[in-house]
Structure 1
Amino acid sequence: MPDTHAAPMLEKHTIGFVPESDRHGKVRDLFTLWFGGNLAPLPIVTGALGPSLFGLSLWWSLVAFVVGHLAGGALMALHSAQGPQMGIPQMIQSRGQFGTFGALIIVVIAAVMYLGFFSSNIVLAGQSMHGIVNSIPVDVGIVAGALGSAVICIIGYRLIHILNRIGTWVLGIGILVGFFAILTGDLPSDFLTRGDFNFAGWLATVSLGALWQIAFAPYVSDYSRYLPNTVGVPSTFWATYLGCTLGSFLAFAFGAVVTLAAPVGLGTMDGVKATTGSLGSVMLVLFLLSVISHNALNLYGAVLAIITSIQTFRARWIPTARARVILSTIILVAASVVAIALSADFVSHFVDLVVVLLVVLVPWTAINLIDFYIIHKGVYDLDSIFRFDGGIYGRFNWTAITAYLLGIIVQIPFMATSLYTGPVSAFLGGADLSWVAGLVVTGPLYLLLARRGPGRSVGAYAPGTREPARL
């Protein structure tokens, strides 16, 4: 097995296949990546929405977090397990389901998602920096946070893993100390009684947890693709699943606890400082470093998605680290401008983004998983994936595209957003079940259409150079 220490710090690959000679790392690295990466301000702010926006008590918020993260995390971890088997980023692998040009639908959506999360995170970085040193304006903090994430993104894969190994211990201990400081402090008399159970709010909170996990699906295998291809699917799945669900649950729970312990109306990150006493500034420093490190994943994902889009039309182009540097700089500038413009009301914009992402990501994840684990059993023709005409996959796979579009349409009656509430959701008191409908319908529909389509029978392997994945 290749030696981890022999791997260069500056990543040379972008969207190309990672040969076995360049594979490195251990499966346990996936646990620390996703555990440490989720102990960050944005999941803390998201968890705070359970009691603050949806009116749930602490108990019902925690139950909703568990259900949402466990459900969404299973899908996310199944995507992660594709990385060592394929050795290519998730978005370019989607060409095997949607065709070379058909996959652009998903790639563009993923790029927008990454940019949305990146912008939200640098706003939190700016607010954290301002909270630590009041003389630093939020806008200056936003730019500084974006620059820090860009440096990590440019260096690439290995540095991202190293920082999250450190973060697992430092932030893990830090958040446990934060819990202790809050729960042993002067809690409000209604800390355990504020809020209650309401079906719509509980389902909305479950959906937030599920989407938090599913939102990683388009890039989770990007961080497992350097592992040796001898790594099996089960070990990759469990390392990712346990890391991401445990880390994100802790962060969501911390956000709910902070909201209920802080004075009503105080922002979440200000609440962290107010409720943790003398540890407040230390906690903000830790979370500032965390958000910069965590946000490098979003920038890295955005860069790979844009490179994939460009390579679709320039099949002979072999992007290098230089392309990652140039695109990281462009995105940094654009995202900083957007973040500064929306910083005053970024939480509401973030929630709207979450709802939209839920609708468009769920059908893709269902199709990708069915295709990888049932139809192709982990074997794809990599030469075709990188060809301009799509090779055996073609430019468009109308079977997948049809199932994807129907998967979006079927969710409409179940949606509950600030812009539109479907009839089923209205009947249920505003509970959003769109993601459940999308999963239940899209997967079986795609499998049925694929069975009937030419050359897409279940169990048929596409031409390739590798053995089937160890499922």
Structure 2
Amino acid sequence: MSATSESTRREALEHRTIEHIPVDERHGRWTQLFTIWFGSNIMLLTVATGVLATAVYHLPVWAAVVALLIGNVVGGVVMALHAAQGPQMGVPQMLQTRAQFGSYGSLLVVTIVVVMYTAFFASNMVLGGQALADLTSIGETPGIVLVGVLGVVGAIYGYRVIHAMAGVLSALAGLALVAAFVMLFAVVGLPAGTLSSGSFGWSGFMGTVSLAALWQIAYAPYVSDYTRYMPKDTGVRAAFWATYAGCVLGSLFPMLLGSVIGAAWPDADTVTGVHTAGGAIGAVVLAIFAISIAATNAMNLYCGALSSLTIGQTLRPRWQPGATTRTAVCTVIFAVALVIALAGKGNFLGNFENLMLLLLCVLIPWTAVNLVDYYLIRHGEYDIPSLFEPGGGVYGKINVPAVGCYLLGIAVQVPFLSNALYTGPVAKALGGVDVSWIVGLAIIAPVYYVWVRATTGSRERIAAEPVTTQGEHA
């Protein structure tokens, strides 16, 4: 290896993990926030989410389009509000959770998030492996392994490489998506009755809205991981709108493609549907969407590793994990995800739908607590050194209002849940319509705000905290 290539490799490798990013190491422009979310969302798993609307919920295409639009637009607001926190605080999203839940109180949420990342990584491996098996003769299992390994490489190199991968895919996958729509409608054509198939039902409609909203909200626990290196003067508005536009547009259009494919070929799997829809260039489109999975998997694995390191550092506060430790954790998560992928590949859509709806229940109360605390209670001002202190510093080990609201948030959603695993009494009375996430947000956001303000001494405690302006070290 030449000295130049070795130097390039070292520069590309991210050496920091969960520590605070100093101001003099900040870099990048707000436009990178658009490309990382736009490029990383144009992939097979996004298309599969759209397929659920017509192939599983049996909605007509028009209703699927409306539901997917509402879910992405609404869910994107919640997700992008978290993105604006990164440039101000300079720490990973899950580490910041210590400020709301306390050092030990945050462990439950962070552990759930690690499980989520692992499950998404496994889901992406299944679709990517199926795509490679469709395009080549290597077989599904080797394809699953190969897609996973590519994601591991990106996660090991870290922040810069993942941003670069997504930037390239913004152009490449974006063009492939446009080509797929053109081929589907202008060349291949839709089977007779595609646009008139299905029947409207509020259960399926709200289920689709929920899936699309969760697609956006599921990024909330790690969206700041990709803004924490941004300069502080990036600005809240710039970070919000660049992230919002990139993620909503990058998610919505592949989902719309999936909804049409699901109506046109309801018995085909997602990979076969994309290949068919692309006609003469179907193999090329499928290959690009499969490559995109590697970038998204790198993001999932990278953030899963940061969250795992956050758990370890919480239990051993003096521990300072580095790039080598991140590599080891990435390898372990990959191995676990591989087992899950191989075990669940036979019923992919069903397993994926259940996963998404389950995550919706456990993520909603966390996002409500985090956003209220950041924007309404502390106004973005936190004592960063306390996040790394053994006892949680000024935030303590357990913040009762936050932990209490998190558990309450899960409990209040249960009667409103409606999915293959469980249907609550209120959901049954509503004809199977699931509005649990709406109820969770509507209840927990004001409850947390009032609880914190009403707790004895909380107003004085918050006012007296030795905060540093907008999350920087004093």
With structure 2 as the length reference, what TM-score do the two structures score? Answer: 0.95
CA contact (8 A) 2:383 2:471 kept: no
Determine the C-alpha separation between the residues in 2 that align with 1:226 and 1:461.
29
Q: 2:60 aligns with which of 39, 57, 61?
A: 57
Deviation of the 1:467 alpha carbon: 4.2
- Looking at structure 2, the residues matched to 348 and 325 of structure 1 have their Cα atoms a distance apart, in angstroms, of 32
- The secondary structure found in structure 1 opposite 2:234 is coil
Code of the residue aligned with 1:183 in structure 2: it is F
Counterpart residue identity of residue 408, structure 1? I
Alpha-carbon distance between aligned partners in 2 of 1:342 and 1:172, rounded to the nearest angstrom: 30
- Structure 1 residues 187-211: Cα deviation after superposition (integer angstroms, max 9, x where no partner): 2111210112211100000000000
Distance in 2 of aligned mates of 1:121 and 1:363? 26
1:306 equivalent to 2:321? Answer no
1:91 equivalent in structure 2: 94
1:375/1:457 contact within 8 Å kept:
no
Report whether the alignment pairs 1:127 with 2:127. Answer: no
User: Is the contact made by 1:153 and 1:299 (CA closer than 8 Å) also made in structure 2?
Assistant: yes
Question: Which of residues 13, 27, 30 is equivalent to 1:27?
Answer: 30
Q: Name the CA distance, whole Å, in 1 between partners of 2:441 and 2:190.
A: 41
Moved more, 177-186 or 109-118: 177-186
The structural deviation recorded for 1:466 is 2.4
How far the C-alpha of 1:9 sits from its partner, in A, is: 1.4
Q: In the aligned structure 1, how far is the partner of 2:465 from the partner of 2:74?
A: 30
Q: Note the 1:437-452 alignment, pairs <5 A.
A: 437-452=439-454
- Tell me, in whole angstroms, the C-alpha distance in 1 between the residues paired with 2:463 and 2:239: 24
Shift of 1:454: 3.9
SS in 1 for 2:233: coil
User: Where do 1:112-191 residues align within 5 Å?
Assistant: 112-133=115-136, 135-184=137-186, 185-191=188-194
Confirm whether residue 79 of structure 1 aligns to residue 82 of structure 2: yes
Partner of 1:330: 332
Structure 1 counterpart of 2:298, which letter?
Answer: A
Aligned to 1:270: 272
Specify every segment of 5 or more residues in structure 1 that has no aligned partner in the other structure, as ranges: none
Q: Give the partner amino acid of 2:85.
A: Q
Instruction: Tell me the CA shift for residue 446 of structure 1.
Output: 0.2
Residue in 2 that maps onto 1:68: 71
Q: Does 1:394 align with 2:396?
A: yes
- My pick for the range that moved more, 172-181 or 447-456, is 447-456
Kept in 2, the 8 Å contact 1:377–1:461? The answer is no
Counterpart contact for 1:215–1:361, Cα < 8 Å: yes
Contact 1:376 1:461 in 2 (8 A): no
Q: Report the 3-state secondary structure (helix = DSSP H, G, I; strand = E; otherwise coil) of the residue aligned with 1:116.
A: helix
Point out the structure with the larger helix share: 2
Q: CA deviation at 1:457?
A: 2.7
| Alignment match, 1:198 | 201
**Matches for 1:269-288 after TM superposition, within 5 Å:** 269-288=271-290
User: Matched residues in 1 for 2:57 and 2:286: separation?
Assistant: 26
In the alignment, structure 1 residue 210 sits paired with structure 2 residue 213: yes
Q: Secondary structure at the match of 1:411?
A: helix
Aligned to 1:339: 341
Q: What is the percentage of aligned positions where both structures have the same residue?
A: 44
- Corresponding residue of 2:297: 295
Aligned residues: 463
Q: Supply the AA of the counterpart residue of 1:383.
A: P
3-state SS, counterpart of residue 193 of structure 2: coil
Deviations 1:99-126 (A, max 9, x none): 0000001100100000000000001110
Write the mapping of 1:374-389 to structure 2, written as runs, cut at 5 A.
374-389=376-391
**SS across alignment from 1:282:** helix
Deviations 1:106-164 (A, max 9, x none): 1001000000000000011100100101x211110011011000000000001111111
Q: 1:375·1:456 contact (CA, 8 Å) conserved in 2?
A: no
The answer to whether residue 427 in structure 2 is matched with residue 425 in structure 1 is: yes
Output the CA distance in 1 between the equivalents of 2:308 and 2:420: 30
Letter in 2 for 1:421: T
CA distance in 1, matches of 2:308, 2:203: 37
Alignment equivalent of 2:19, drawn from 6, 16, 19: 16
- Is this contact kept in 2: 1:381–1:463, CA < 8 A? yes
Secondary structure at 1:124's aligned position in 2? helix
State the alpha-carbon separation in 2 of the partners of residues 71 and 464 from structure 1: 32
Q: Secondary structure at the match of 1:317?
A: coil
- By how many angstroms is 1:455 displaced? 4.6
Between the aligned partners of 1:192 and 1:94, the Cα distance in structure 2 is: 45
- CA shift digits 1:243-262 (9 cap, x unpaired): 10011001100111222233
Q: Shift of residue 421 of structure 1?
A: 0.8
TM-score for the superposition, normalised by structure 1: 0.96
- Deviation of the 1:70 alpha carbon: 0.8
Structure 2, unpaired ranges of 5+: 1-7
2:90–2:471 contact (8 Å) kept in structure 1: no
- Give the 3-state SS of the residue equivalent to 2:320 in structure 1: coil
Conserved 8 A contact 1:377-1:468: no
Contact 2:59 2:204 in 1 (8 A): yes
1:73-117 Cα shifts (integer Å, max 9, x gaps): 000000000000000000010000000000001100100000000
Q: Contact 1:107 / 1:309 at 8 angstroms: preserved in 2?
A: yes
